[in-house]
Structure 1
């Protein structure tokens, strides 16, 4: 219990010495929440991100006791080494989630505190979250009036997108990580999805569906799977991005994967 509480304190005290308007994550979260009306919340982040946030506190001089000064001097080399490895991974060390689960399957890319139900479009809440945790991943709470998503492994996803382009299928924003591709779609119900999948002769097991009660990390988040990026970015300065109907996407993706034989292994 002591270790869990300690990790929680580090998470809640995650700060860096930058103004809120200098945080790319804050600017992105404000766009999603206030301009596009997509409910968002901060992800838990990785253990390395939390540690580097605490290091920035020392740099600001908020810990002024003698022991803190000694720690700053002795830890300077370690912090430089950490910066050189990238945010997601320390040199030679596995990426570890900042949550209490040592075997977390989605390091940094899930909610913890606050929980998923706290997702909001309220500007003041969004500013408070990312002012206190400027490097936290930005999570979209899928479903309801917000977009949902259909995802598939990265290799199959890249080939499926090429097949969809060739077939002239119109897509909205597409998010990608090193591991998966997420095609944003219009909100759907579980009944609608069930009927859609039931009508298919075969649905690749590598497809995942992110609807009510789900979430997707949005750019410019950095998680245990690396940098989250736009594979197909929304038009700059646009209003709420258009997203396609889930049936059109699933029909085209299943057809492309089945016809071209690029379906990824069952996951």
Structure 2
């Protein structure tokens, strides 16, 4: 997966006191950044290209919550530590909305073109979480009312555009170590702000959290 959180995440291996990377990342999201997370269902342990959930036709293998359900998402350090101590390979699922980040996502090719266009416009972008099929931009929390007003004002909205707000979720990327002599794979820096161009203001005030943008 490709994501803008890479540089900060790669520092975890230097200060995780020997904890596996996934539990260290989950604790950082929950305890430091106050993002409610929960363990997702892991891929089939037998190695087959299917999900570990009971649905034999699951369309998002290893990328969704199952047990516990989404409502169990928490920022409680003890609960997060217990989850990933018992399920060290479980994907990290972020429950979007509320006080947590929301997200907008597009198919990978369309998202790549959209990000290029936004960079050229000088827009300040938030973290980007990318899978081979879809890319999601994390944005400041928004309500359904705010989203409705925004969409109503637009002449056209792509049918492939998805909104991950209250009651939604995205799967956060698995940590990947940096390679020697490189800045590390999966890191994308936002474009510089250009004079006179619109800017999406970051909604976080703590420097330890990644900047998010408003839709």
TM-score, scaled to structure 1:
0.62
Is 1:215 aligned with 2:212? Answer: no
Count of equivalent residues = 177
Q: 19, 35, 38: which is aligned to 1:22?
A: 19
Contact 2:21/2:175 (<8 A) preserved: no
Alignment of 1:111-260 (within 5 A): 111-220=65-174, 232=188, 238-246=207-215
Contact 1:174/1:230 (<8 A) preserved: no
Alignment of 1:14-53 (within 5 A): 21-47=18-44, 50-51=45-46
Contact 1:23/1:135 (<8 A) preserved: no
SS in 1 for 2:68: coil
Shift of 1:145: 0.1
Shift of 1:238: 4.8
Contact 1:38/1:121 (<8 A) preserved: yes
> Tell me, which stretches of 5 or more residues in structure 1 are unaligned?
1-18, 52-89, 223-228, 247-267
Q: Per-residue displacement from partner, 1:89-127 (whole Å, max 9, x unpaired)? A: x5xx5x211111111111111111111000000111111
Shift of 1:32: 0.3
Shift of 1:232: 3.7
Choose between structure 1 and 2 for higher RCO, CA contacts under 8 A separated by at least 6 residues: 2
Contact 2:25/2:175 (<8 A) preserved: no
Shift of 1:242: 1.5
Task: List 4+ stretches of structure 1 deviating above 3 A.
Answer: 19-22, 229-234
Shift of 1:231: 5.5
Shift of 1:221: 6.8
SS in 2 for 1:22: coil
Q: Per-residue displacement from partner, 1:54-96 (whole Å, max 9, x unpaired)? A: xxxxxxxxxxxxxxxxxxxxxxxxxxxxxxxxxxxx5xx5x21
CA RMSD in angstroms comes to 2.3
SS in 2 for 1:213: coil
SS in 1 for 2:171: strand
SS in 2 for 1:41: strand
